[in-house]
Structures are given as C-alpha cells and as structure tokens.
Amino acid sequence: MKLVKTFFSIFFFVSLQPLIATSYQEDAEFSHLHKTSQAFTSIAKKATPGVVFIKAQYKPQGYFGESLESLESPFDFFSDEFFRRFFGPAPRERQQQSPQPIASGSGFLVSEDGYILTNYHVVKEADILTAILNDGREYEAKIIGSDPKTDIAVIKIEEKNLPFLSFGNSDSLDIGEWVVAIGNPFALESSLTVGVVSAKGRQDLGITSLEDFIQTDAAINPGNSGGPLINLNGEVIGVNTAIASRTGGYMGIGFAIPSNMAKHVMDQIMTTGVVNRAYLGVIMQPIDKELAEAMNLTQTEGILISEVVKDSPAFKAGLENGDIIIGLNGKAVKNIHKFRNEIAMSQPGADVALKILRKDKLVDISMQLGSLNENEVGGAEFIQKLGIEVENIQNLSTDAVQKLGFSPTTDGVIITKVKPGSPAAFAGLKPYFVITGVVLNWKNQKSIASVKDLSSTLSEIPNKKYVVLVVRHQNYQRYYTIKLN
C-alpha cells in the first residue's frame, strides 16, 4: 500500500511538471511586461510636470492685413440705438465680437527659472503667448529668440523652482530603441504615446533648411509640435516637429529634431539671443550616377563644388570650381545635407581640415570658417546665380571711370562680367552696364550705391523666380527682368 501511494505521488508530481513550468514562464513574461509598463509610468511621472501647453493668440486682421483695432469704422451711425435695433450691430462690431485666432502647441521647461524650448512655427508672429503648466498654472510668455532654419524657439515665463527636463545624447540613439512622445495633441494636455526610433538622419524633407530628423512611430498629432521625445532614461533626445500624413492625423511617421542640434541652438539663443553659424562659401551639389559617369569619376561619394563664392573663406583658402569634397576633419563625406549641417553647426572661426579630390589628385586644405551673415551671404550667392560679377564704381581706376563716361561719385555698381548662358545673359545684361536699383515690388524700388547695397537688397526679394534690376547704359535707363530657373 505504501508503495502504491509513493507511485501515485511521483506520477502526480510528474504530471504537474508541464503546468508548473508553464506557470513559471507566464509569470516571467508578465514580470517583463510589468517592468516595461513601470518604465513608461516612471517616465510619465518624471517628465510630464516639465511639459508645457502653449497658446498663441493673434490679432484679427482686416482685408489688407491691418489689425481691426486700427481701422476706423465707416458705420458710426450704428451707434444710434434706433439703427442698432433695426440693422443689428455694425459690421466691425460683429468682427470684434468674434474670438481672436488661436493656435496651440507644446513645449518643455529646460531650466528652473522658466526657459521653455519649443518649435519656431508654434510661436511665430504670435501677439500673445500663454504657457500653461501641467498643474494648471498659466503665465504670459515672451520670445527670447528663434531660429527658423532649425524650427527652434526659446520662450520664457517669470517663475522660479520649476520642474525641467534634461537632455540626452541623440547621437547615441539606436534604431529600434523605445521612445516616448509627450505633448498636447488637439489641445489634449499631457498626452503620452510610445513607439520606437524608426530611422535617423532623415533629410531633404522640405520641413526646415537644416534637417537631420529622428523618425519615430510614436503617435504625433497636430499640437504635439514642440513637445519632447524622451528615451527610457527620461532624457530629451528630440523635439517633436512634424508628421507625414495624408489626413492631417497620425499615420505612423513622425519627425523630431535631434536633441544635440536643438540644444546647440538653444544655448546660443539663451546666451546671446541669436544663432551664429559658420560659413564655408561654396555652392554644392551631390554627385549622382549620371554625373559621375559623364565626368569619368570612379566614385559617387563626395560633394561637387559647382561654384566658389568670391571673397568667401573657401575662396581665400584656395578651393576651386569642380573640386570634390571627400573628407571633413578626418571623416568621409558622403552626404551633402550632413556636410552642410556639420558646417552650419560649427562655431565661426573654427579650423577645419578638408580632403579634396582635384583632377584625380588628393589635396589637403586647412581653413578657417567664416561667420554667416544671412543677408550678405544670401545676396552674394544670389549675384553669382544671376551670372554676373560686379564692382563698385569708386573702386575703378580714374582712367577707367573717365573712359566709361562716369564720375567717381556716380551711384550704382558696374557689371564687370556676364557669364555666358546665365539668367543675366538671357535677360540681355552686358559688361559695363550699371545697376542703379532693384525693384522689390511695384510699390518698393530701392536705389543701389554699392555692392553691399545690392547684396542686402537681393536677399530681401520674396519671390526668387524673378529679379527686376534698374540698369543704366550710356544715357539710357531701363528695367531688366531676369528669370531664374
């Protein structure tokens, strides 16, 4: 009998073994899920207090862009009670009774004394900014500085001892890594979504001038702009900026500005109020398969210098048209956008080492980067795209001035060279013509007295499809329309 009991005990234990093992496995899997859930809960508790809801208010505009407050009503007789009862409120009163246009977005605190990082497009041209904290407190905010090229802005509220978020290293992100997006989609405050890093270094999307986006499938919707993208350590590794969508809502593809780029811009704005960028001074284009084949190149990697801007740091360092940049500071250069970003994010005056392929020979060039002046540089590059070279009349020799029939005090800049086949050549411009003005629009024509005037004025042209120059030749002056490709 005792032997039978022992047999049944062993049999019962052996029979339960699979069930026990399955139970242990399910408990282990549940434990892993629970730990993952706890990680997201911990991030929410840590980060959400530092996320801010931003309201941007704009003054209602009249038909011609004037603020309605500045318009005088032609319906003064409506102030009479009889007319008010019969016709109703005056048209202007109806407009003023409508609410102010309001946009909303997200941001996050980066210091205990009220500095907030957000997107430039969230606060752009706002008349009144309101920052609403997670605990419901509201503050009027002011813009400290912004950078449209990266879509970054810094605003500030007057308060102390605020919870703020810390930055992580976006360069160390891995594809597939868990990330959390926090923001205010559709004005729903402090919404948290979870996803992974889908890709890094997304460029050429047409969202901003300087692009190096993190792509994520964490749900990002309208209103998330400016909010943080956070890693499992609770650190900000990106600033949510845009979504790729055919419906305007979430479709699984969102983009965030890397934290390293955002922090670089933010630090400059908080220190000086502006962003200073380095400047190389070349017009570049990628090398595609067809170009490489046509030029008998053995490689498609690198960046082709199509033109060197006159008097730029690149010009002074000896770079030439047709050079191919294949290395920067000891690293291979493969992507034009990444190269442009690295130069733009460098400090003005920084020394860089370029490796150049010039007529099948490798050339090492060390140079110092200049400082990017948006107006002067943009204008100088614009002049080259027109296909002309210009000079101040005052810089010409006395003999040259007399032969051309000018006086040393003549205003304008003289065209010294017109590139064959250029937009300027097609428009009919020729050497020794004098540019005396630029037409910005039919109501605004600016006089030109120097090359600096020409550069800065060209950079103001809103429509880069056409340029209208006022040009004098001999005793005649006429308008030349230059069409750009």
Residue that the structure tokens 């070349």 belong to? 282
CA dihedral 334, 340, 344, 348 (to 10 degrees): 80
Q: 199-211 in b/e burial notation, b at 16+ Cβ within 10 A?
A: eeebeeeebbebb
- Residues in CB range of 132: below 8 A, 6 or more apart: 52, 53, 54, 55, 138, 139, 189
Axis-axis angle for helices 374-386, 451-458 (nearest 10)? 90
Is 135 assigned a catalytic role? no
Pair of tokens at residue 373: 């002046």
Residues 357, 324 contacting (CB under 8 angstroms): yes
- Residue 128: other Cβ atoms inside 10 A: 13
State the catalytic residue, choosing from 104, 106, 146, 151: 151
- Residues in CB range of 94: below 8 A, 6 or more apart: 88
State the catalytic residue, choosing from 106, 191, 225, 455: 225
SS3 content of the chain, % helix, strand, coil (to 5): 30, 35, 35
One-letter-per-residue 3-state SS of 5-58: HHHHHHHHHHHHHHHHHHHHHHHHHHHHHHHHHHHHHHHHHHHHHHEEEEEEEC
Q: Where are the beta strands (DSSP E) in 24-89?
A: 51-57
Please tell me whether residue 140 adopts helix, strand or coil conformation.
strand
Is 225 assigned a catalytic role? yes
> Amino acid identity, residue 37?
S
CA dihedral 236, 242, 243, 244 (to 10 degrees): -130
Residues 281, 312 contacting (CB under 8 angstroms): yes
Pair of tokens at residue 8: 């049944």
Task: Kindly state the helix (H) or strand (E) to which residue 452 belongs, with its residue range.
Answer: helix 451-458
- What is d(CA 16, CA 13) in angstroms, rounded to the nearest whole number? 5
Task: Count how many residues are written for the chain.
Answer: 485
Our CA angle for 256, 261, 267, nearest 5°, is 125
Q: Which residues pair with 102 in a beta bridge?
A: 57
Is 151 assigned a catalytic role? yes
State the catalytic residue, choosing from 121, 170, 198, 259: 121
Residue that the structure tokens 């020409």 belong to? 454
Q: Which residues are catalytic?
A: 121, 151, 225
